[in-house]
């Protein structure tokens, strides 16, 4: 469905960590122009990338390739309860044959936004609370771990 308008969308079957291959693809080159901002969405994907693959560097490489004025969207499982992080990460690694990343602390997720202009809040937030349309929207009830994220403008 996303590929229906090739003027605005590209769908690639690539490893997200191979940014060189992604940005050299004709589909992506066709969409990027120096004077037209775009959005890079890392929604519920960075927690799937192990620390050994340096997800912070991955985000940095993507930001460096985007035109000025583009936006970065990030959300990822996060908790400051280190024991809970360890348990959830262990479970996910067990069911994915150790190929999953991990739940990160709030501070570790905030590192993704370093040097960028974060929108609407002084820092990212639990995503169901970011710019809610109304008080009727469902909110995450658990505070032990959350889907945490935000939006930043790339200078």
| Domains of the chain by start residue, with CATH | 32-130+141-153 (3.40.50.150)
d(CA 8, CA 3): 9
Exposed, middle or buried by CB within 10 Å (0-12, 13-18, 19+), for 78? buried
Reading the block at residue 70, the tokens are: 């583009």
Q: Give the whole-angstrom CA distance, residue 149 versus residue 73.
A: 7
How many other CB atoms are there within 10 angstroms of residue 89's CB atom? Answer: 18
pLDDT at 137: 55
User: What is the phi-psi region of residue 4: left when phi exceeds 0, alpha when psi lies from -120 to 50, beta otherwise?
Assistant: alpha
Q: What is the pLDDT of residue 71?
A: 95
Give the mean model confidence (pLDDT) for residues 5-9. Answer: 77
Rounded CA separation 57/139 (Å): 31
Q: How far apart (Å, rounded) are the C-alpha atoms in residues 104 and 102?
A: 6
Higher pLDDT, 2 or 88: 88
Mean pLDDT to the nearest integer, 108-114: 94
pLDDT at 140 over 70: no
Q: How far is CA 99 from the centre of its chain?
A: 18
Q: Pick from 59-63, 77-81, 83-87, 119-123 the range whose average pLDDT is largest.
A: 59-63
């Amino acid at each position: 469905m996303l590929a229906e308008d090739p003027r605005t969308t590209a769908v690639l079957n690539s490893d997200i960590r191979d940014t060189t291959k992604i940005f050299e693809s004709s589909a992506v080159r066709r969409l990027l122009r120096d004077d037209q901002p775009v959005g890079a969405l890392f929604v519920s994907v960075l927690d799937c990338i192990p620390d050994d693959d340096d997800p912070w560097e991955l985000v940095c490489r993507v930001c460096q390739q985007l035109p000025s004025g583009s936006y970065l969207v990030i959300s990822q499982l996060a908790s400051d309860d280190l024991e809970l992080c360890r348990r959830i990460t262990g479970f996910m690694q067990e069911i994915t044959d150790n190929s999953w990343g991990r739940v990160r602390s709030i501070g570790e997720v905030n590192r993704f936004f370093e040097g960028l202009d974060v929108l609407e809040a002084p820092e990212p937030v639990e995503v169901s609370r970011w710019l809610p349309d109304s008080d009727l929207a469902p909110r995450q009830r658990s505070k032990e771990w959350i889907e945490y994220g935000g939006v930043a403008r790339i200078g």
